[in-house]
Structure formats: structure tokens, C-alpha cells
Amino acid sequence: MSEITKISGAEAVIKSLLKEGVDLIYGYPGGAIMPIYDELHKYEDKLNHVLTRHEQGATHAAQGFARVTGKVGVVMATSGPGATNLVTGIADAQIDSTPMVCITGQVASHLLGSDAFQETDIIGISSPVTKWNCQVTKASEIPEVLAKAFYIAKSGRPGPVLIDITKDAQFELMEFSYSKCKTIRSYTPVPNYSIKQLKKAAELINNAKKPLIVFGQGVILGNAETEFKNFIEKTGIPSAWTILGLSALPSDHPLNVGMVGMHGNYGPNVLTNQCDLLIAVGMRFDDRVTGNLDTYAKQAKIIHFDIDPAEINKTVEVDVPVLGTVKETLPEILKLVNKNNHQNWLGKFHSLYEKEYSKVIKEELHPTKEGLSMAEVVKEINIASKGNAIIITDVGQHQMVACRYAKFNESKSNVTSGGLGTMGFALPAALGAKMGAPEREVVAIIGDGGFQMTIQELGTIFQTGSAVKIVVLNNNYLGMVRQWQEMFFEKRYASTELVNPDFVTIAKGYYIEAKKVSKREELKSSIELMMNSKKPFFLEVSVEKEHNVFPMIPTGASVSDIRLD
């Protein structure tokens, strides 16, 4: 009779990851997770571990990887500060529905609650910002818990999961077997759709004279881009996007009428309060989209397609909720809706765009001022990439400008921090995106403030050799805060002006090719040089110092009160 071979809990973690098809991990080692890293060392030929320079960088890199691949991003960190440094990225992933599994080491189980060295209650800390979390104190629990973690992270509305494993559980021996999780009692990731509700929705759509669709990331997460395109083309309904919905529909599609929200396009914001039917597809009525809820689309009937029942009537009362994944519900409603076009109504969007173009866009893209505008930098990147690049943005003015002016031909091409608005997101997220889609060009557009929050990840980019293109738009300000101070705080620029270092020298210190541009005549050739490089490239562009992003809906105002200046 052969003896059953036992393995350690640490090796069980590695074997469980391999069973889930994981081949890439971002992380940072430390005392409480050292047994897992020791086992990881034995599996270097099967698992690529990327040593980021900070645990927050690991989470954002995993987010970038997940956003462009649709796979689960995986992160590892030690206990105490290692674990708490993950929290910002976990919170970002939670609010932006990004699938991620974070594995943290913990002090030995007999020390729990004793304030041992580098002990923190990461389960308590992370509970509000995870889809699920669990502490493991016995090696035998590891395979089942990890199987459940991956299932929960990826299924239904995706999100982050954290698994905290005590050090003694990592050393303890166990008999290993692994079964992928396929169901959990009382957890229904995708609710069944109702034919009755679809028929009600179809009736409203067929009778509407001035319908408007607002689509969000649910289209991308549901891999329903084709189904969505078929739906809008049959119904002829103008379609606007949230910033996380951007790239689900090609930028040049004739029914794509632009961005809604605080710095969105003039037409879709104004006409939200004139449409007779508002159809929300995979979006959550965020406050930056709705403005003042008391005046938001009060004249319209509202249909809401969403996978998450908690989003229905959470902020906006809707007439017809349609639960389920849009991958299934859109083909079903396609059978019920009439072939239609709304050319006269669509013409209103076009005429309002012309007004926005003459008052805002023309000067942004073709400035008459001496200083470079952020928009013309994005325009040159569009030309060089032909709309085929993945654009990663940080948070601030540059983010709004990039979302407004970047052009996309392909889905999963716009990666940004939406709901949490995390400065420092872009640089590590761009690394993750490039590793997830190495065949595609990845361009990170970052402000000088956000860049310095995770600037150390230049070291990770150098060490991995990932050919990320980094563009820092430098105005020596925390630009978005400065804009608000100018508009609403009588130009009291409190703690927003930055005295910046020599970014080019820093990039070169990380052995990354770098250049600075401050003149318009150098911009095009410099972007072409960057895009043609097969290696990481850093480009700093000095842009106009006190520039404001318009249109803008002031805080607390109605979407129809959007300002062009």
C-alpha cells in the first residue's frame, strides 16, 4: 500500500493557483508570507511573479491585467503594512467591479489578537471593500477557500476577494486535492431575467420618440459588445457612455454621441433632461453621471439593464428593471423591438456637438495660445496609434481630457480609476495591461501629481522590460483641484502648486529612454519616436499651467446646467 504524499499549506496555495490557470502574480514578500514565496521559487517555470516596488502598485498592476484580459488578477503580500498597503487598490477594484484575488500572509494562529509583530486585522479592515474575504488557519482549508475565492471574484458582477493565511497554516502538512468551485449555496451571481420585464421594456422602446441609451462597463464585463451594437443598430437609439463604458462601442460609430457626466459632452448631458425614454445598460447611475438627482431625467421613463439587483432603484427610481447579464438580455429584447431610426432626434445631438465644438473642442484640439493643451497631446497619440492603443489614465484633468478625446476601435482599451478616483493608478495599471496584452500598444497618460504617487513602479517596468509608453502631462499643479479652487474658491490655490523634480532624469535613472517636450513643433515627432520604440519610453509634455476642463457640471447642479465656459 503506497503512502499518501502530503504537502505544506504553502505548496497547496501554489498548486491551487495553477489549477485555476494562474500564470502571473504581482506581489511583495515579507515574513508572514515567506513560506508561500519559498514554494513559489520552486515553480518559477510555471508562475511568473512580478516584484512591484510597493504593494499598492501590485494591486493596480493586477487591475490593469484584469481589465484588458477579463481574467482574475492575483496579488500576494505579507501581513501588517504589506496587507494594509493593498487596501486602496482593493477598494478601487471593488467600486469598479474588477476581479482580483489577494493572498496575504498572517501571523501564526496562536498569536492572533495579541498585537504580535506586523499583525493587523486585515479581515476587519478589508470587509467593507471586498466582495468576500476569509481567514485560513488550517492547511486543509486552503484548496476549497481558494477555489471559492476565484469563483466569487469572477462570477456575476466581478470584484476583489482577500484570503488571509496564517503562517502555521502555510507550514502545516495536508493531503492535496482541488476541485474548481461552480456554485455556492445562497449565492446567485447572475439573476434569471424576466420575459415579462423584457416585454414591458420593448413596448417602451417601440413607442419612444426621443430615446437615449447610457451604457457603462457592464457591456464590457459581460463581453456583450456585439450584442449591444446589434441592439442599438436595430433600434437606432443614440448612445452615450460613462467613463468605464468607453471603448465598448467604437468611437466613430454613428450612434455614439459621447460621454455623460461632470465633464462629458454637451449634447448627451443636456438631452438627458429632454429624452422621453432613458435606457441604462450596465451602468450604476453614479453621482458624477446624474448630477442633482432631484432634476435627473424626471420627464423620462427609465429602463435599467443590470446584473446586480442592489443597483436597481439605489439612486434613481426606474420604471422597468431588467435583471440578468446583458449578454443574455440584449439578444432577447432584440427579438421584441422594432427596426427604427431616430434621425431627427439624433440631429439634436449633432447640433449640440457643433455648439460644443465651436466653444470648447476647436480651441482644445487646435490651440491658438502658445502653450500646449492636453487635448492636442491626446490627438497626436490618436493619430500615431490609429485608435488601436490601450489608453491608461490616472485621475484628474488629464483623465477627463483623455476620456473626452481618445479614440478607440476595440473594446477593453480604456483603463482608468472610475469610482474611487485613485491617483497613482495609471503607472502600475499600465504595466499590468501591457503584460496582459503584450501584442498591443499601451500608453499611460498621467498628471504630474498622480505620477509621483507611484513613481517607484518605473523600477518594475524597467526590471520586467515591459514596453509601456508613459506620457506625463506636466502643468506643475494638482490640476483638477486647482480648477475647483479657481471656479468655486475665489482662486485660493491652497496646497495645489507643485515644485516638481526633473522627471526625465529620474526616468533615465531607471534606464528608461526619456524625453521632454515643451514646444508644439516638437510634439508630433516626439510622440512618433515614443510609439515606434520597442522598449519602455517616458515622455514629459509641459502643458498650459492654468487650464480648465470644459464642459463642466458644477457640483449639485442639474445635468442640463452643464457649462461650456
Task: Return the active site residues.
Answer: 55, 117-118, 167, 480
Is residue 195 classed exposed, middle or buried when 0-12, 13-18 and 19+ CB atoms within 10 A define those classes? Answer: exposed
Other C-beta atoms lying within 10 Å of the C-beta of residue 5: 8
Q: Which three cell numbers stand for residue 517?
A: 517636450
Give the residue among 559, 97, 65 at the shortest CA–CA distance from 306: 97
CB 504 within 8 A of CB 514: yes
The span from the CA of 499 to the CA of 445, in Å, is 20
The span from the CA of 76 to the CA of 205, in Å, is 48
Give the residue among 202, 463, 225 at the shortest CA–CA distance from 326: 225
Instruction: Specify the 3-state DSSP secondary structure of 98.
Output: coil
Give the residue among 251, 189, 216, 223 at the shortest CA–CA distance from 407: 251
- DSSP letter at 129 equals G
* Enclosing H/E stretch for 471: strand 469-474
Q: Which three cell numbers stand for residue 251?
A: 468611437
The gap between the terminal CA atoms of the chain, to the nearest Å, is: 82
* Enclosing H/E stretch for 104: strand 100-106
Instruction: Specify the 3-state DSSP secondary structure of 336.
Output: coil
Helix 142-154 with 9-19: angle, nearest 10 deg? 30
The span from the CA of 1 to the CA of 3, in Å, is 7
**Starting from the edge strand earliest in sequence, which strands make up the sheet with 414-416, in order?**
414-416, 390-393, 442-447, 469-474, 537-542, 513-517
The span from the CA of 152 to the CA of 318, in Å, is 28
In sign, the C-alpha dihedral spanning 389, 392, 398, 402 is: positive
Is residue 64 classed exposed, middle or buried when 0-12, 13-18 and 19+ CB atoms within 10 A define those classes? Answer: buried
The span from the CA of 563 to the CA of 565, in Å, is 6
CB 13 within 8 A of CB 142: yes
Strands (E), 188-339: 211-215, 239-241, 256-259, 277-281, 301-306, 320-323
* Enclosing H/E stretch for 165: strand 160-166
The span from the CA of 507 to the CA of 529, in Å, is 16
